[in-house]
């Protein structure tokens, strides 16, 4: 046995082990929807090609350093693969270079990582040990089993075959940087990481070479699609205090639903039916990898988040015509953020300066102990209660944004804080989700009662919205059980709805509005309510209350929702029935979505808003 092992060529054995491991993980962990033998072959060849390139690099150094470099690269590749596995388990997505630069957030991610790990993960590192053992047992410890020229020819040959098959399977593959699953499926996880690095480098280059000549096409598009806001509501909220409350990981499917005969969100259900409440039942989050920070960015700027990473990290020093800046400079509002978390998380301490906030109340402004915190930090009821005296210090009128925390993955909560018991499916994440949503709901109820007691309720407008999904498609089985339906791609898009409630304490009517809309529409809506026009600005959203409102929502992955259709994953569905129809019926919608996302990306990548004043002065 030992003689057989020592006879194995070290380099080729290492390449084979890494290839097989990468292929198995890519196919069975990443859920890439392999639908044919050709796609399966592409996946295997991409794994082999990456292994050949990576593990062939030691051939370029002297023999005495070859194995040390080989095992270092092998371990690095394994760590990259494993980090993607952890990230994919929750976000159903792949790590990008900007995400890796968010290392300052890792201390806050510990509870999530503990939840995501699996004892079987140890097997991902088992082959690293095998390679080391094989090296120790060999008498001839050279890596080479054939000359470098032949190795290069083999590598190039497999690379060309893999790339040709990928291109035939998906033409214009490299133009779809927003579809990371498609890129990994056809390029492989390691090649994708290199491609992402190239995109990131290109992003930095665009900023360096941007100028106002890039604006004309974008401004013309925005003006051509501009919709007339609701004139009857123009300025109706001016002078009132504005509460913008971001509800962590809250999806709309919990509204007006029960488990075990108990309401999941009794306070929100009640608020929706109170006088002065406007509930949008077809409102979608539009976030990407930036999650909560993406939702903040979209709401503040009426621009889309980026296809990779988070704007809060990649472009925090850009010029932004944010909602907050308009409120400060056009309406004299004092602006503040309340979030009982580390101020550097999501790079908020830097980004909030660019957005224009006067004050950020972070974890340093709250009393946080082991008893009043769980998971990611201060419990929501303590957060709201401790925020009351801070609110009373603010000059009026003020714009106050609150970001809740307790309803965050892994949705942990002590028994003493449970208002409803966990659900009883086989999916612990989904089971616990209902308890933390219910806890958040009760904290909101208490907050509203406290505001009324402090006479801070009547002269205010409240806007409550879900920031992003809490339950990813990795939990479709349990969600299908809860909703009593199969979670098709169409149904999963419908699950991207998040609640949106405008509450005006002094108004008398109550409405449920079914208009298809998204987070990108919040900035122009709030501006209209406060009497701010913002005509010389780039905004891709429009007033939610507009009588001309175009029901057209773009998600960050390129999916589109209208009043008639849902287009996602190269499939087109009739929205009313969920039945699949011919893709050609959605083709024009998808093309428009691609163009609009591209325009928004150009604005951010090139920091183009800084050129707007000169652009309009020269017209």
Instruction: Give catalytic residue positions.
Output: 292
In the three-class reduction of DSSP (H, G, I as helix; E, B as strand; rest coil), residue 344 is classed as coil
In the three-class reduction of DSSP (H, G, I as helix; E, B as strand; rest coil), residue 163 is classed as helix
Reported as type and span, the H/E element at residue 214 is none
The secondary structure of 292-337, three-state, reads: HHHHHHHHHHCCCCCCCCCHHHHCCCCCCCCHHHHHHHHHCCEEEE
Q: Per-residue DSSP letters for 228-296? A: ---GGGTTTTTTSEEEEEEETT--GGGTT-EETTEES-HHHHHHHTSTTEEEETTEE----TTHHHHHH
Cβ-count burial of 292 within 10 angstroms (0-12 exposed, 13-18 middle, 19+ buried)?
buried
Question: How far is 238 from 531, CA to CA, in rounded Å?
Answer: 7
- Report long-range pairs for 580-586 (Cβ below 8 Å, ≥24 apart): 580/490, 586/560
Place of tokens 């993980």: 25
Question: How far is 207 from 199, CA to CA, in rounded Å?
Answer: 13
Do β-strands 560-562 and 565-568 pair in parallel, antiparallel, or remain unpaired?
antiparallel
| Residue closest to 190 by CA, chosen among 307, 50, 30 | 50
Place of tokens 């089985």: 477
Residues in a beta bridge with 360: 337
8 A C-beta contact, residue 230 and residue 545: yes
Tally of CA atoms within 13 A in the half-sphere of 169 that contains its CB? 21
Sign of the C-alpha dihedral computed for residues 85, 89, 94 and 99 taken in this order = negative
Two tokens at 424?
């009883």
8 A C-beta contact, residue 313 and residue 102: yes
8 A C-beta contact, residue 196 and residue 97: yes
Question: How far is 115 from 134, CA to CA, in rounded Å?
Answer: 34
Tally of CA atoms within 13 A in the half-sphere of 266 that contains its CB? 13
8 A C-beta contact, residue 268 and residue 255: yes
How far lies 411's CA from each of 460, 500, 584, in Å?
Answer: 31, 22, 41
Angle of helix 10-28 relative to helix 189-209, nearest 10 degrees, comes to 80
């Amino acid at each position: 046995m030992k003689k057989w092992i020592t006879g194995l060529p070290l380099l080729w054995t290492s390449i084979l082990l890494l290839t097989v491991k990468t292929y198995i993980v890519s196919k069975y962990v990443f859920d890439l929807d392999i639908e044919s033998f050709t796609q399966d072959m592409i996946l295997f060849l991409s794994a082999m090609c990456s292994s050949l390139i990576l593990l062939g690099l030691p051939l370029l150094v002297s023999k005495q350093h070859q194995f040390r470099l080989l095992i270092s690269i092998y371990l690095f590749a394994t760590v990259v693969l494993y980090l993607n596995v952890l990230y994919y388990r929750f976000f159903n997505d792949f790590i990008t270079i900007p995400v890796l630069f968010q290392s300052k957030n890792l201390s806050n991610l510990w509870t999530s990582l503990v939840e995501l790990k699996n004892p079987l993960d140890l097997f991902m590192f088992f082959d690293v040990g095998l390679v080391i053992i094989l090296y120790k047992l060999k008498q001839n410890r050279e890596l080479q089993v054939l000359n470098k020229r032949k190795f290069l020819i083999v590598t190039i040959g497999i690379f060309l075959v893999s790339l040709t098959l990928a291109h035939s399977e998906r033409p214009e593959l490299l133009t779809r940087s927003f579809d990371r699953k498609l890129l990994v499926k056809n390029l492989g996880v390691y090649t994708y990481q290199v491609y992402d690095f190239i995109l990131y480098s290109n992003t930095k280059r665009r900023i360096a070479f941007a100028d106002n000549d890039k604006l004309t096409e974008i401004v013309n598009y925005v003006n051509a699609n501009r919709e007339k806001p609701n004139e009857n509501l123009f300025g109706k909220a001016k002078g009132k205090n504005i509460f913008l409350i971001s509800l962590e990981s809250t999806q709309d499917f919990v509204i007006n639903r029960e488990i075990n005969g108990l309401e999941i969100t009794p306070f929100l259900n009640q608020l929706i039916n109170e006088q002065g409440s406007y509930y949008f039942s077809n409102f979608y989050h539009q976030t990407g990898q930036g999650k909560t920070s993406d939702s903040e960015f979209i709401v503040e700027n009426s621009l889309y988040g980026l296809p990779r990473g988070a704007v809060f990290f990649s472009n925090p020093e850009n010029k932004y015509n944010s909602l907050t800046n308009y409120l400060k400079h056009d309406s004299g509002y004092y602006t503040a953020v309340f979030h009982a978390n580390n101020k550097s998380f999501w790079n908020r301490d830097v980004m909030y300066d660019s957005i224009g906030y006067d004050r950020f109340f972070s974890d340093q402004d709250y009393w946080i102990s082991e008893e009043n915190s769980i998971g990611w930090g201060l419990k929501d009821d303590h957060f709201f209660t401790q925020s009351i005296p801070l609110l009373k210090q603010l000059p009026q009128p003020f714009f106050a944004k609150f970001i809740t925390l307790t309803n965050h993955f892994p949705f942990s909560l002590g028994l003493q804080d449970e208002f409803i018991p966990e659900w009883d499916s086989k999916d612990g994440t989904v089971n616990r989700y209902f308890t933390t949503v219910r806890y958040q709901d009760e904290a909101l109820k208490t907050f509203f009662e406290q505001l009324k007691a402090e006479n801070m309720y009547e002269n205010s407008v409240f806007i409550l919205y879900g920031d992003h999904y809490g339950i990813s498609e990795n939990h479709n089985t349990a969600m299908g059980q809860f909703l009593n339906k199969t979670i098709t791609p169409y149904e999963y898009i419908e699950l991207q709805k998040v609640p949106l409630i405008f509450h005006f304490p002094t108004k008398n009517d109550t409405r449920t509005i079914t208009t298809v809309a998204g987070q990108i529409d919040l900035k122009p809506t709030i501006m209209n309510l406060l009497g701010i026009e913002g005509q010389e600005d780039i905004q891709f959203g429009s007033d939610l209350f507009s009588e001309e409102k175009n029901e057209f929502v773009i998600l960050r992955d390129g999916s589109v929702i209208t009043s008639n259709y849902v287009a996602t994953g190269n499939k087109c569905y009739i929205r009313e029935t969920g039945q699949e129809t011919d893709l050609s019926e959605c083709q024009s919608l998808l093309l428009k979505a691609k163009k609009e996302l591209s325009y928004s990306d150009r604005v951010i990548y090139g920091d183009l808003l800084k050129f707007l004043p000169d652009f309009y002065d020269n017209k």
